[in-house]
Structure 1
């Protein structure tokens, strides 16, 4: 099985599962869910659907429970819309990448100084970067 085929199948599964969660799934526990990516096994029998869930850990846990309970319904949707020999068994995995990127951004915001309070960047000889001293460009002053 070529890797191009598995990538194509993973993309199709991601699209089907995303739309089914958004439009067709009626479980009130499942909300604020984004399918980030799908990993599929080489024989296309297993698919790990990575999801990002906004909310506190308790809401995330409830949502993951709802997704796991809805896996059979979502597998049926994948079977109906994606033409493969086997219907991949879907496993949901909580993707913490988005949450981690927010933490990194907060840490960087605390560590790095604000741009408003920083001093201007200087060039090598102590002159302010971006000045055109010593160039042959005419001054743009009003001459009247």
Structure 2
């Protein structure tokens, strides 16, 4: 099975949806930030492993705590995933922190700051 086959893409989406539901509604670990989202999931073609890209809205300590909480709850998450998704093998999940959303927000803020500076310079030249 090719890595980007239709079957693998459907499996990725299904695992992504169920993993999001499990993290949002079933895990009660206080270390896990309530503003945690699953950005993407890549399940290996042999269904033995999966990479779950996680985004956490918060500071670096909150991100580390959330990653530690998810890693410790990996067995529970895997069992719940096995109940809800009918796969031959339930993949071993590896959680990876995804900084792309935070990076995008910071870049947008920098662009806005530069635009504001340009506007203020233009106004001061007009006066």
Q: Same fold (TM over 0.5)?
A: yes
Higher helix fraction (1 or 2): 2
Which of 36, 39, 48 aligns to 2:51? It is 48
Structure 1 runs (4+) greater than 3 angstroms displaced: 113-119
Say what the alpha-carbon RMSD is for the aligned residues: 1.8
Which of 96, 102, 106 aligns to 1:103? It is 106
Within-5 A mapping of 1:43-82? 43-82=46-85
Q: What's the counterpart of residue 18 of structure 1?
A: 20
TM-score normalised over the length of structure 1: 0.76
Between the two proteins, the alignment pairs up a number of residues equal to 119
Q: For residue 30 of structure 1, report the CA deviation from its aligned partner.
A: 0.8
Within-5 A mapping of 1:104-123? 104-113=107-116
Gaps of 5+ in 1: 120-144
Larger radius of gyration: 1
Q: RCO greater where, 1 or 2, for CA within 8 Å and sep 6 or more?
A: 2
Q: For residue 54 of structure 1, report the CA deviation from its aligned partner.
A: 0.9
TM-score normalised over the length of structure 2: 0.85
Gaps of 5+ in 2: none
